[in-house]
């Protein structure tokens, strides 16, 4: 079956400093994949380069067998919450409706169908009551869910999410993981930058370990090993348990984190 995402020889540099070096990654269809690695490993850069938001020095990205530019409408992106200006004067519903613009084309105004799709997505993330609130008046967890709703409204095939669990409480985390599982059950593919190593085996089918280079990628049970985690995090990894599996490892905080 055609993979959802195929990345070949991807190299990205900011100035003369490489953030990603010759990365290959293949994401099968219908899986939940975690992108894992230390701070500054290039995880966000990997998503942004895949979506054409930063320019690659070299490499090739295909989404469902074609270049991203031809598949834009099939791809949804949930950016890091901190990367957005939340003071921008707009409502929750307007942000979620933006998820529909790809289907709509720029020249048509959103109508009843778009409105209903946006409201359905807001209901999925339990934010119906917040539809008309200004986005600046939301908590961190609510902001995260607004972005998720925008991505859901898009009805994409492949979802890229940059730390969707960051700053959310345990209840919201469960709600988000539930939504990710629903997406998988519907045959969608979800690629998530994720920091909590403890939950990788429970939440994800596949994992990519990144530290500028691709250290390893594939099914969690094959790839999420102590040896691979050590290769990814180096000396900054504390192994809490004795059985040596990644499910019990946590990265030690980097100086200045």
Does 128 participate in binding ligand ATP (rule CB under 6 A)?
no
Q: Is residue 60 a contact partner of residue 7, using CB atoms and an 8 Å limit?
A: yes
Q: Is residue 158 a contact partner of residue 188, using CB atoms and an 8 Å limit?
A: yes
Q: Is residue 102 a contact partner of residue 154, using CB atoms and an 8 Å limit?
A: yes
Compute the least distance from the CB of residue 125 to ligand ATP, in Å.
23
- With CB under 6 A, what is the number of residues at the site for ligand ATP? 10
- In the complex with ligand ATP, the residue whose CB is nearer, 42 or 246, is 42
- In the complex with ligand ATP, the residue whose CB is nearer, 97 or 212, is 212
Find all residues with CB under 8 Å of 126, minimum gap 6, and list them: 145, 175
Does 191 participate in binding ligand ATP (rule CB under 6 A)?
no
- In the complex with ligand ATP, the residue whose CB is nearer, 93 or 168, is 168
The three state secondary structure string of 91-151 is EHHHHHHHHHHHHHCCCCCCCHHHHHHHHHHHHHCCCHHHCCCEHHHCCHHHHHHHHHHHH
DSSP code of residue 247: G
CA dihedral 144, 146, 150, 153 (to 10 degrees): 120
Compute the least distance from the CB of residue 120 to ligand ATP, in Å.
31
Does 14 participate in binding ligand ATP (rule CB under 6 A)?
yes
Q: Residues 19-58 vs ligand ATP: string with x where CB under 6 A?
A: x-----------------x-xxxxxxx-------------
- In the complex with ligand ATP, the residue whose CB is nearer, 10 or 97, is 10
Compute the least distance from the CB of residue 41 to ligand ATP, in Å.
4
DSSP code of residue 256: T
Q: Name the site residues for ligand ATP (rule: CB under 6 A).
A: 14, 19, 37, 39-45
């Amino acid at each position: 079956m055609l993979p959802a995402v195929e990345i070949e020889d991807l190299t990205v540099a900011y100035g003369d400093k490489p953030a990603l070096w010759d990365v290959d990654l293949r994401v099968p269809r219908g899986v939940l994949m975690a992108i894992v690695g230390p701070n500054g490993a290039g995880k966000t850069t990997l998503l942004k380069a895949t979506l054409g938001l930063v320019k690659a020095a070299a490499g090739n990205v295909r989404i469902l067998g074609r270049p991203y530019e031809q598949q834009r409408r099939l791809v949804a992106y949930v950016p890091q919450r901190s990367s957005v200006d939340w003071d921008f004067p707009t409502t929750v519903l307007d942000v979620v409706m933006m998820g529909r613009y790809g289907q709509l084309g720029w020249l048509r105004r959103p109508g009843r169908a778009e409105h209903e799709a946006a409201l359905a997505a807001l209901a999925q993330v339990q934010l119906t009551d917040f539809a008309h609130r200004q986005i600046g008046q939301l908590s961190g967890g609510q902001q995260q869910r607004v972005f998720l709703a925008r991505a859901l409204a898009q009805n994409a095939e492949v979802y890229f999410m940059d730390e969707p669990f960051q700053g959310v409480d345990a209840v919201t985390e469960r709600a988000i993981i539930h939504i990710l599982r629903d997406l998988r059950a519907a045959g969608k593919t979800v690629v998530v930058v994720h920091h909590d190593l403890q939950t990788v085996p429970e939440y994800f089918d596949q994992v990519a370990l990144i530290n500028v280079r691709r250290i390893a990628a594939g099914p969690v049970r094959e790839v999420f090993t102590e040896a691979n985690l050590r290769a990814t995090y180096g000396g900054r990894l504390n192994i809490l348990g004795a059985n040596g599996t990644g499910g019990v490892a946590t990265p030690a905080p980097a100086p200045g984190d």
